[in-house]
Chain A
Amino acid sequence: MSRPGLQTERTALAWTRTATVALVTVILLARLGVHTGQPVLFCGAAAACALALLSFWRRRRRLDAGTDAARARSLLVFTGLTAMCGALAVAGVLAAA
């Protein structure tokens, strides 16, 4: 007796949480950008925004995919975008100092 629906739902919820945290990151980076006037921070906020959208899209794909394992390629793209967000935040933090 397996209930794959719950497993899939938990994982979809993890994607939703990730999207929410990405949205918080958008707000914080944009706020620091407004305070310091560093354009690189707005680039970071834009990257975080793209990350939030991608998370919501992956959430939907997760529900469609059911119990299939995640593809390495999609997680790799997601990883790249998160790291880009981080790199822009590093540049912004150093520029804001």
Chain B
Amino acid sequence: MPVSAARSTNQNPPVAEPRWQHEGEEPDYRFSLANERTFLAWIRTALALLAGAVAVIQFLPSTALEGLRTAFAAVLAVGGTMLPVVAYRRWAAVQRAMRNDGPLPFTPLLAVVSGVVGLLGAGLVVLAVVS
């Protein structure tokens, strides 16, 4: 342990490994891998939001309500920027909880993302019909 700590300070990595990676015990690999896949699913959701932002700009007619169209696209793109960060924090929190054999942390993420995407969808339907 002291040897590896000394080596990691000597190597001076660009991004430090968080300390919790040495806490507790290595969880069952099936849970670790499932956690990694969940992280990737959120990443793909973020990329899908970016694709949605581009689609809103390109495929909604710009005859009327142009500012609103930009607002929709901006919300989608900002969501696609924030979601990867939230996904990483979620992955780290779950991994840490599993290492310490604690309960998995609650997340309002699902409710928030469902709410935002639902509202945007409803708004886009209205916008597409009006314009």
A-to-B contact residues, CB < 8 Å: 4, 7-8, 10-11, 14-15, 17-18, 21-22, 24-25, 28-29, 31-32, 35, 48, 62, 67-73, 75-79, 82-83, 85-87, 89-90, 93-94, 96-97
Contacts and interface: CB of A to CB of B under 8 A. Distances in A.
Given A15-B40, A86-B78, A97-B69, 11 more contacts: A7-B33, A18-B40, A62-B36, A73-B17, A79-B43, A79-B85, A79-B87, A79-B88, A83-B84, A93-B73, A97-B73
Contacts of B70: 93-94, 97
B50 to A, nearest CB: 5
A69 B54 contact: no
B84 A82 contact: yes
A14 B47 contact: no
Q: Is the interface of A mostly helix, strand, loop or mixed?
A: helix
A15 B87 CA distance: 15
How many chain B residues sit at the interface, stated as a range, is 35 or more
Q: Is the interface of B mostly helix, strand, loop or mixed?
A: helix
A86 B66 contact: no
A4 B34 CA distance: 12
Interface in B58-115: 58, 66-67, 69-70, 73-74, 77-78, 80-85, 87-88, 91-92, 95
Query: By CB atoms of chain B within 10 A, which of A67, A72, A78, A94 has the most?
Result: A72
Contact of A32 (B18, B54, B69, B80): B54
A97 to B, nearest CB: 4
A44 to B, nearest CB: 8
A24 B16 CA distance: 32
B54 A89 contact: yes
B57 A21 contact: no
A86 B50 contact: yes
B91 A75 contact: yes
Given A93-B57, A96-B57, A21 B84 contact: no
A8 B33 contact: yes
Contacts of A86: 46, 50, 77-78, 80-84
